[in-house]
Chains A and B, each alone.
Chain A
Amino acid sequence: MLSNALTDREGARWAPTDAEIGRFRYLAESTRKLFLDTVFRYGRGHCGPCLSEIEILISLYFAELRIDERDPKSPDRDRFILSKGHGALGLYCVFAQRGLIETKELATFEALGARLQGHVDSIHLPWVELTTGSLGQGLSVALGMAIGARRLGKDIRAYCVLGDGETQEGNVWEAAMAAAKFKADNLLAIVDWNGLQGGITMEVMPSLEPFAAKWQAFGWHVIDIPGHDIGALLAAYHEARMVRGKPTVIIARTVKGKGVSYMENQVEWHGGTVTPALYDQAMSEIEPRLAQLESYR
């Protein structure tokens, strides 16, 4: 059975209640904790880019994507591509929260033969639609899926999360140009704009600005929102559904390393190792927030 909490109730009733948003916020914060537990225990992970994408992925997997949690290949499912493939462990934690994989499987991250490869991998893990990490390619495949879905006459939507630095790839703009031509209104791109890339700030890079205007000029409907605001994300997904005749991009303004003060906006936390002292400090920040949200659980 394909289902999701909010997308199944279109029209006036789509809007999430405060309790629902609270629950998603709780889930996001507990996913953050799960992520840090995993990184601390198993030693590795892209901390910054995973922590910036958590709210985007939680809101997608709990409130937007129609999936069958018992069948990853259910034919009429929505298609989701994490084009920023280095956000893998963040996505795996969301999969665990959603019950698609067992939490204990996170212990196998990056091990020989593991389903949970270092970058998301569709050959190893059926919940992943496309192997990514060679940046700039996911949006093209999502576009192909969107065109294919429409050819089949099916109400299937294609979603693609990109990194901000990833959009320096020319392939992204080839796909952007074509998506407008094909009027792919069942395609939603979400750019995790955390303002840093790799081990460096984006100021030293060729400028992507004016970023929103670029997408507009390419014929896209653009929604620019704070990317850790669950309510804003859900409203943007709903708005994208209502757009006809053009694809939508959500520019989600996020914070790299969000939720752990010493990681936030720090280029050295693209990767990084969490020592016991740093782990304790992170928990001392996350656990009070979790306690505050406990009533929404």
Chain B
Amino acid sequence: MNWQKASLRDALGRSLVAIGERDDKVLVVNADLRNSVKTTYFMERFPDRTIEVGIAEQNMIGVAAGLAMMGFIPFAVTFARFASKRAADQISMSVDYCRTNVRIIGAYAGIFTGMQGVSQQMIDDTAAMRAMPNMTVIDTADAREIAAVIDYAVGHEGPLYIRVGRDDWPVVFDGAYVFRLGKGHWLRQGHDVALISSGVLLPYALEAAEVLRGEGIEAGVVNMPTVKPIDADLIADAANRIGAIVAIENHNVQAGFGSAIAEVVVARAPCPMEFIGIQNEYSQSAPNDDLAEHHRLTPPHIAAAARRAIARKRG
């Protein structure tokens, strides 16, 4: 398919400005990296509402928690690695346990982060964040979904972690897109297999469905931005009606989005599942297309996973 592309980090930066215009309680807390995560736009528009703490993510989360406790709406913006790992205990204690209204933006989530290698990628942040009992976890698929999720985040009650990518990426949604917390939505119906995607691999899922149609296989495609709380009803319905699921994520397949789906499937409607994602290994620096192929994330691999799941269906 010929996708129009838009920069994910640029969407993040513009979206923060947009909510800043709407609500003057919105603050951005930076730990350096302004140019990388494009909070430069917010800083230029609202210098007085930009809190810069330097390369000190633990302090960033603590300061954001304190600001939230004083009634502000702080967005702590840094790379997914530094947020979810460097400041993990600060997030656990001062944000998640204390149910503080801090919005944590894990930018540079996943592996498509501009050929910078493992230290600037993050494949296990969803796992860490969704294991926190009070945390809401959202992954984003394209520039429009980022805008919608950031807009939603202003009014969210409680701890919130949002994964955002970096690079120019296919724009899947149009201006009519509406984000609903905890809800997945069918982009395409199909009775043979359900491809359920969270995050930036969504266009690959849609392309895989086209490949499968060419073989006479009808694949349904779901976009499910909210990883936690997961849309258990949609998943159980897909498992019951269709009976084969492929989970698709830009994250380690262990303990991530696919695992969250599997938890629902085994409890409510057991059916064959396949997992597209990083297969429990670290990535590396390379062009995005090369990485996608190397980690078997591309449409042909998704189509192959769909066939495997269908083959294991009962009856």
Chain A residues within 8 Å of B, Cβ to Cβ: 79, 122-123, 129-132, 134, 136-149, 151-152, 158, 170-171, 174-175, 177-178, 181
Whether, in the assembled complex, B211 has its beta carbon less than 8 Å from a beta carbon of chain A, the answer is no
Contact assessment for B62 and A131 in the assembled complex, using a CB-CB cutoff below 8 Å = no
Q: How far is the CB of A79 from chain B (nearest CB, A)?
A: 8
Q: How far is the CB of A97 from chain B (nearest CB, A)?
A: 26
CA distance A146 to B65 in the complex (A): 12
Q: What are some 13 contacts across the A-B interface (CB < 8 A)?
A: A137-B89, A137-B90, A140-B62, A140-B94, A144-B69, A145-B69, A151-B70, A152-B71, A170-B58, A171-B58, A171-B62, A177-B56, A178-B63
Chain A: which residue is nearest B65 at the CB level?
A: A141
Contact assessment for A144 and B58 in the assembled complex, using a CB-CB cutoff below 8 Å = no
CA distance A132 to B97 in the complex (A): 11
B53 surroundings in chain A (CB, below 8 A): 174, 178
Contact assessment for B66 and A144 in the assembled complex, using a CB-CB cutoff below 8 Å = yes
Chain B: which residue is nearest A133 at the CB level?
A: B93
CA distance A143 to B56 in the complex (A): 14
Whether, in the assembled complex, B232 has its beta carbon less than 8 Å from a beta carbon of chain A, the answer is no
Partner of B64, one of A130, A131, A144, A174: A144
B63 surroundings in chain A (CB, below 8 A): 140-141, 143-144, 147, 175, 178
Residue among B51, B66, B74, B89 with most chain A CB within 10 A: B66
Q: How far is the CB of A166 from chain B (nearest CB, A)?
A: 14
Whether, in the assembled complex, B116 has its beta carbon less than 8 Å from a beta carbon of chain A, the answer is no
Residue among A129, A130, A131, A144 with most chain B CB within 10 A: A144
A141 surroundings in chain B (CB, below 8 A): 62-63, 65-66, 69, 94
Q: How far is the CB of B266 from chain A (nearest CB, A)?
A: 32
CA distance A170 to B90 in the complex (A): 12
Contact assessment for A145 and B58 in the assembled complex, using a CB-CB cutoff below 8 Å = no
Interface size range on B against A: 20 to 34
With A123-B99, A171-B62 already in contact, the answer to whether A152 and B70 are too (CB < 8 A) is yes
B56 surroundings in chain A (CB, below 8 A): 174, 177-178
With A123-B99, A131-B97 already in contact, the answer to whether A145 and B70 are too (CB < 8 A) is yes
Q: How far is the CB of B20 from chain A (nearest CB, A)?
A: 14
Contact assessment for A140 and B70 in the assembled complex, using a CB-CB cutoff below 8 Å = no
Q: How far is the CB of A168 from chain B (nearest CB, A)?
A: 14
A177 surroundings in chain B (CB, below 8 A): 54, 56, 59
Whether, in the assembled complex, B61 has its beta carbon less than 8 Å from a beta carbon of chain A, the answer is yes
Whether, in the assembled complex, B18 has its beta carbon less than 8 Å from a beta carbon of chain A, the answer is no
CA distance A132 to B93 in the complex (A): 7
Q: Mark B87-106, 1 if CB is under 8 A from A, else 0.
A: 00110111001110000000
CA distance A150 to B58 in the complex (A): 22
CA distance A136 to B72 in the complex (A): 23
A-B pairs with the 6 shortest C-beta distances?
A144-B66, A140-B62, A148-B70, A174-B59, A174-B56, A144-B63
Add 13 more A-B contacts to A131-B93, A175-B62 (CB < 8 A).
A123-B97, A123-B99, A130-B69, A134-B89, A140-B66, A143-B62, A148-B67, A148-B69, A148-B72, A174-B56, A175-B63, A178-B59, A178-B63
Q: What is the total of A-B residue contacts with beta carbons within 8 Å? A: 100
Q: How far is the CB of B132 from chain A (nearest CB, A)?
A: 14
Contact assessment for B70 and A149 in the assembled complex, using a CB-CB cutoff below 8 Å = yes
CA distance A141 to B65 in the complex (A): 6
Q: How far is the CB of B127 from chain A (nearest CB, A)?
A: 20
CA distance A136 to B90 in the complex (A): 9
A138 surroundings in chain B (CB, below 8 A): 62
Partner of A134, one of B65, B71, B93: B93
Q: How far is the CB of A203 from chain B (nearest CB, A)?
A: 27
CA distance A123 to B66 in the complex (A): 15
Docked complex: B241-293 residues within 8 A CB-CB of A: none
Contact assessment for A171 and B59 in the assembled complex, using a CB-CB cutoff below 8 Å = yes
B89 surroundings in chain A (CB, below 8 A): 134, 137
CA distance A123 to B100 in the complex (A): 11
Contact assessment for B90 and A171 in the assembled complex, using a CB-CB cutoff below 8 Å = yes
Contact assessment for A140 and B61 in the assembled complex, using a CB-CB cutoff below 8 Å = yes
Chain B: which residue is nearest A132 at the CB level?
A: B93
B54 surroundings in chain A (CB, below 8 A): 174, 177-178, 181
Chain A: which residue is nearest B62 at the CB level?
A: A140
Contact assessment for B66 and A147 in the assembled complex, using a CB-CB cutoff below 8 Å = yes
Contact assessment for A137 and B94 in the assembled complex, using a CB-CB cutoff below 8 Å = yes
A130 surroundings in chain B (CB, below 8 A): 65, 69, 94, 98
